[in-house]
Structure 1
Amino acid sequence: MNKIFFFIATLLLCSACTSRPEGFVIRGSFPGLQDGMMVSLRSMEGGAILAMDTIQDGKFELHGVTASPQYCNLIISSNTSSSDMSKMVNIYMFLDNSELTVNAAHLDSLQFVHPLISETAIPKARVEGGPLQREFYEYRDTLTPLLLTASEVNNALAMLNMQNDQYTTEEYNNRFDELYPKKLTTEAAIDAAKMEFIRQHPQSPVSLFIAEGLLNTTFIRTAEEIKELTRIAEQIEDTVRRPRVLKMAEIAKTLYKGASYKDIELTDPTGKTVKLSQYILPDHYTLVDFWASWCGPCRWAIPDVKQIYKRYPQDRLSVISISFDQKKTDWETAMKEEAMPWTQLWTGNRDQVTAAQRAYNISGIPRLMLIAPDGKIVFSGNDANALRVAVEECLGK
């Protein structure tokens, strides 16, 4: 009798296992879909096309497997031979291996939303199926109004920058000083909302996705926040994203808010190997500008750095420029052209480049930093005007 019971239980268990979806299925059938239209699913975290289908009988069905839940873009195109966005609509979703259904009032209610504004666009379609989709929309619904507010401020700052030739320096700085605190306030609200979502959903793959973005910033997270994000990430079941996030957390542990600068080897104009610490003077604030001759935004920031340099005495503020140029001649030519009257250093070989990039997690330039007399980094960013505000807060206007 026990053998029969065990045999039946085994069959039921195997049946349950085979009934579980091994991948994802995405179905859609709503007004406006026409036979022959193409539907494709593209990862927003790598660009790969994960599945494709042609609409038949007014519906589509996509099949595939994702190794890890990921942010995706579902595109419906009425013309396969054209890249004209007017002939496309898209829907952003968070994909996992579930049976999902796309619902919309009508195809005409949808539009093509560029990835750059996807976070602030109000979704006109909903993807349903499983708790992950509900969590994703909960996150979107919480963040969207905050992101819209931030977008308004960022747009105003962008417009100010485009029209800077219409202002005197004083007028421009005054207008920037009005907008920049609003930018910081909106960013802090977004940051707090993301952290709160993660705390409320400590097991969610969406939280792991958010944590990855938070940990990719430098000198913004507190050491306690990094520990908290690490602790939460460790318990989320995701064999692909979790190791990546934990590796980022290890790096972030040395790049937390209020961390001290890291010493690196560099090359001076005579070709001598030196250390950054040789130029960090006691009782001084130190402005460090990572740049390169070929980097347009880097060159545009130099006049602003010059204004800061001229404004404060050298016994209070030191300035150091560190070039990422590959060729020494390019660096030397740019130094002459820009006529920068402060310390010039260079990452003169591949080891120095790699060490500098790793020390400060530099993925783009310019990178502007302000180091306090105690060695702590009090500002890190790419905006010379934001740097100016930080310097004024530390040294006075």
Structure 2
Amino acid sequence: MTEHWETVRFGDLFLEPSKNGLMAPKRVRGAGVRLVNMREVFAYDFIADQDMELAPVPAGATVKDWLLEKGDLLFARQSLTLEGAGKCCLVTEVNTPMTFESHIIRVRLDPGIADSAFFYYFFRSPAGKAAIQSIVEQVAAAGIRASDLRNLRLRVPAVAEQRRIVDVLTLLDRLIETDRRLMGQLAAATDVVWRRATVGADTTTSFGDLATLSGERRNPGEVDPSMPYLGLEHFADNGEGLLGVGRADDSTSLKSVFVPGDTLYGKLRPYFRKTARPNFEGLCSTEVWVIRPVDGVPASFVEWVVSRKDFTAFAMAGSGGTRMPRAAWAHVARMPVHVPGAAEMASAATTADVLREQYWALWDEVVDAERTRDELLGPLMTGSLLPQEVAA
């Protein structure tokens, strides 16, 4: 099937030479244009309208050289882990000026001979990951060089075939995006339900009277290898739930145990607001609190309290450490919480539970679509499966 594919040097597909990002020390940040940091590269596959830090770009005639355009590929030059080096993401929208920092390599392809979305998907596939791993250097941290990246030799189809492959994979990613947007709307509706229930509430109690911190631990080797595992990397920032789920056999050392009804909250660098209430049992990092409601308190109410910005603000106020702050349960347990009356609590919990069922039904769709996409990546990117065969 690959008789019409050819081996090309990646750099021969570039519209212009690749470019490393600009130096933007902390002291100059806060004004300027949006800055894609390593945090965004590792948190997102598609770069668009996410909230980012601001940084100035160099003044003068070369300012446009530092700005990103739709279709640019961004590669992580360095990572603390071998798997993270060379991670690729795609710029899909640039509604306001956006630049990128020095640990990132920008690649701008010639659209006449290369489809940037195809190469984004390629570098997600087993073949693409193997190509990146072949140029990773491991010293203090794992990293790649722009010169090695452009000299990669890749076997790819003509641009028309690239676009047919992209059409198949993009259809699945659009479904995922739509479902995640609906999940966000359901989460917002749940927030409204609980806000209304607590308006005018004249009862205040400490958070520690509503929930306890579970200390149950298990060794991953003692459980089913396929049991779900959640590390901090599986949580979105800003209270936006889960990005994905790992497996118990992906982890080592003692882990915390969670069950349906528990709310999870990342205690390390709590300002990221990594939180979720999974509808399944699993293991999680010990850097994640497993917060369990006391008898009689709806799990959805505890989840709502933990997801709010004022919970994180309170947690940060009592956290220890400067560079890597950790929240302290003894402090958070003292946080005052307004509690609705019994009737209001029961009514809100019923509505919240209905919204939650819809939320996790969409999550199941997301998981299925992601699994299908990832299963297609390998054969589509090696030519062993044609896009028209998928459509059939």
TM-score (norm 2): 0.27
Determine which structure has more spread, i.e. the larger CA radius of gyration: 1
Q: Higher helix proportion, which one?
A: 1
User: Per chain length, whose mean CA-contact separation is higher, i.e. which structure has more relative contact order (CA < 8 Å, sep 6+)?
Assistant: 2
